[in-house]
Amino acid sequence: MKIFNDYEEFSEAFEKAGEGDITAVRNMLNHLLVNLDDDNDPWLVQLLRQTYIDKLIDEGEAYAWVYKGDEILRNQEAEHFVYEALKCYLKAAALGDNMGFDCIGELYFKGDYVERDFDMSFVFFHLGIKHGNTLNPMSLCRIGQMYKYGYHGELNLETAEEFFSKAISVGSNHGIIDDYALIAANELYDMRAS
């Protein structure tokens, strides 16, 4: 993931992205996604993100559909924005990116934009694990929480511990500090401390 430290790096990548350099498009999009609270013109930044997302979709990048779904939820201007975001997440999943399944699972887990439904969440997180190109700490952590707190109906601390441990392991393999791996570590610590 590329974050630009100065105007010249940003300007050079912006120019290359405009010329169709797909790596520059990815770098620009990553920069704009990390800096969501940028003080610059939010409408222009949103337009740039949407442009780069559309370019990656045109290039056949499955994960770009996840970004598009996130962008729809972030902006919430369309009447049927949740339906449109879900379509994007499902498209990502159909193209082989398990984050599509994980994003749907997370919506149902939190009850954001949809009615909270742990059964639906459980199904989509398991689909992400079963059909994913790589394991994601999000799905492993959330399933662990469902077993720990009995959200899915079955309280099973041993299984919860297995999922938390796996989330931590997978998260450390990503080479960055993963939020869900940290949540899993805290949940595991709390279990062992009690």
| pLDDT given for residue 1 in this prediction | 43
- Token code pair at residue 20: 């169709």
User: Exposed, middle or buried by CB within 10 Å (0-12, 13-18, 19+), for 191?
Assistant: middle
> What's the whole-number mean pLDDT along residues 78-83?
71
Chain centre distance of CA 23: 20
Average pLDDT of the chain is: 82
Digit-coded pLDDT (tens) for 39-70? 556 666 777 778 888 888 888 888 888 888 88
Q: What is the 3-state secondary structure (H, E, C) of 8-55?
A: HHHHHHHHHHHCCCHHHHHHHHHHHHHCCCCCCCHHHHHHHHHHHHHH
Average pLDDT over residues 138-147: 95
pLDDT at 96: 79
- Least confident piece of the model among 69-78, 103-112, 127-136: 69-78
The tens digit of pLDDT for each residue in 110-140 reads: 998 888 999 999 999 998 888 876 788 999 9
Structure token pair of residue 53? 């997302």
- Residue 35: per-residue pLDDT: 62
Q: What is the predicted pLDDT for the residue at 151?
A: 93
More confident residue, 93 or 177: 93
Q: Is the dihedral of CA 37, 41, 42, 46 positive or negative?
A: negative
In sequence order, what are the residues at sequence separation of 6 or more whose Cβ sits closer than 8 angstroms to the Cβ of residue 7?
A: none
pLDDT at 184: 94
Query: Which helix (H) or strand (E) covers residue 124, if one does?
Result: helix 118-131
The model carries a pTM of 0.74
